[in-house]
């Protein structure tokens, strides 16, 4: 298995909703990442988990809450989002750090906040 799987592929949520994005990989990678990508822009790093511990938080607002329950799973919990949070959310993984092979990316969750 050489894939990073993200669910759901599309999500529409209201500003008062609570939802979660899920990411799963079975490549034995020990680093997992969340990126946010706005239309016609490059991905921007949000969070990095290394060996299930949060190692980087790029000053992301607390309405985004990451969770890494085990080495294969990464969640992003969403609460009280704003319309400007609408974007493509990409999950990625790598062997241990990004130096090794570069990130392997999932296909993303396209989030629309209404």
Residues that bind another protein (CB under 8 A): 4, 6, 31, 40-43, 45, 48, 50, 55-56, 90, 92, 97-99, 101-108, 110
Q: Quickly count: other Cβ atoms within 10 Å of residue 91's Cβ.
A: 26
CB of 23 closer than 8 Å to CB of 6: yes
Q: Which is nearer to another protein, 4 or 87 (CB)?
A: 4
Give least dist CB 9 to another protein, A. Answer: 9
Dihedral sign for Cα atoms in the order 87, 109, 13, 54: negative
Rg (CA), the chain: 13
Give least dist CB 55 to another protein, A. Answer: 7
CB of 1 closer than 8 Å to CB of 27: yes
Q: Which is nearer to another protein, 10 or 16 (CB)?
A: 10
Q: Which is nearer to another protein, 87 or 92 (CB)?
A: 92
């Amino acid at each position: 298995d050489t894939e990073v799987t993200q669910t759901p592929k599309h999500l529409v949520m209201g500003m008062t909703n609570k939802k979660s994005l899920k990411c799963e990989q079975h490549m034995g990678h020990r680093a997992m990442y969340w990126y946010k990508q706005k239309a016609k822009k490059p991905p921007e790093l949000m969070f990095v988990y290394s060996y299930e511990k949060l190692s980087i938080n790029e000053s992301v607002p607390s309405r985004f809450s990451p969770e890494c329950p085990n080495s294969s799973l990464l969640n992003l919990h969403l609460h009280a989002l704003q319309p400007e949070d609408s974007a493509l959310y990409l999950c990625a993984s790598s062997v241990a750090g990004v130096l090794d092979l570069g990130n392997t990316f999932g296909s993303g969750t396209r989030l629309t906040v209404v």
